[in-house]
Amino acid sequence: MLTCPTSLPIDFCTTPVDFRQSFDGLTGVVMAVFGSSVPDGHLFLFINKRHDRSKAMW
């Protein structure tokens, strides 16, 4: 089980993302959309084009 700190900032990307991208590709999306870096300690949530799947990156 993964435990998260209670003050964890959560960023939700409402723009559909291609899930064939690796985590390196999603890191580029984080920098382009949010203007922040992945190691900042935020939880990033992504959704696909059909809005039936999600991906998380912490």
Residue 1 pLDDT = 65
13: left (phi over 0), alpha (psi -120 to 50) or beta: beta
Tens digits of residue pLDDT in 26-49: 888 888 887 877 777 888 889 999
pTM: 0.76
Rounded CA-CA distance 12/44 in Å is 6
Mean pLDDT across 20-26: 85
Could you give the maximum distance between any two Cα atoms of the chain, in Å? Answer: 31
Give me the pLDDT at residue 27, please: 85
**What are the tens digits of pLDDT across the range 3-17?**
767 788 888 888 898
pLDDT at 22: 84
Domain boundaries defined on the chain: 10-57
